[in-house]
Every structure is written in C-alpha cells, then in structure tokens.
Amino acid sequence: MHLDAAGLRQLDIYSFGILVWRVMLNGVVPWELLTKTDGEVGIVDTARSDLTVASLTKEEFDSLKKTGQSDMIYGLARRTLQNCSPGDVDLQIVCDVLCQTLHREPSLRAETFGSIISLLQNNSASSEKTQ
C-alpha cells in the first residue's frame, strides 16, 4: 500500500493520538486495558484483582479501526482515561486532542500538527482565564 504525503501526515496524526493515550496511561499499552466478551469490546476493571480476563491483542485492536464506528477508538480512549489518568492533568484538553487524532476516517482528523498545537494553546489560554 502506497500513501501520499497527506496520507502519511494523517497516519502521523493518528499515531500521535495513540502516543498521547499511552502516555496518559503511564506507559500501559492501550489495548491491554481492553477486552472482548461476547463480541463486545469493554474496559478491563483494573480495580478488581480477582478478575482475570484476556486483553485484546494488537491485531484485535487494529481490527477495531476497521469497524464502521468512526468514534469507537476515541470513546474507548476517553473511558480508559477517566479510570486511569493522573489527577493533575486537565482530562478535557487531553480528550480534545484525542478527538482530533483518533478518528477512524483520516479526513476527520486534524489536518496538521499545527492545528493540534493551536487547540492546545487555545485550551491552555481558556484554562488560565478561568483560574
């Protein structure tokens, strides 16, 4: 498969979203927090030590991107972060970045890293005004 420059940029944008997600999970591989039961993807309950479930494999995670639901990965990222994110981080800003980067459809992702930087700067300025 050959990607043109725009396709490579969109792949980089998506990869950045996965990186942000992983950083927010303190290095945990995101799909290790996901499980599949009866065909439904869910989140592993890390608070229950008695629970033993099989995590998704990377291949199963990659196949989620091919489902018809463009916001499935973003929705799962948002739910895992609500359970695991560090308390000193503005979860809304992180979710805004993930929303702009993790769409299944590349045309719905941020067009450039400059637009992600602008989003962060705007959110940062808004946060400072409310404090």
Q: What ranges do the domains of the chain cover?
A: 28-130
For the stretch 4-28, pLDDT in tens is 888 888 889 999 999 998 888 888 8
Closest listed residue to residue 97, CA positions, set 19, 5, 30: 19
The segments of the chain whose pLDDT lies below 70 read: 1, 36-57, 62, 64-71, 83-87, 127-131
Distance CA 56, CA 62 (A): 10
**Residue 31 Cα distances to 25, 44, 58, 67, 89, angstroms:** 11, 10, 7, 16, 22
Q: Please give the pLDDT value at position 32.
A: 75
Percentage of the residues of the chain whose pLDDT score is greater than 70: 63
**Residue 12 Cα distances to 18, 48, 101, angstroms:** 10, 35, 9
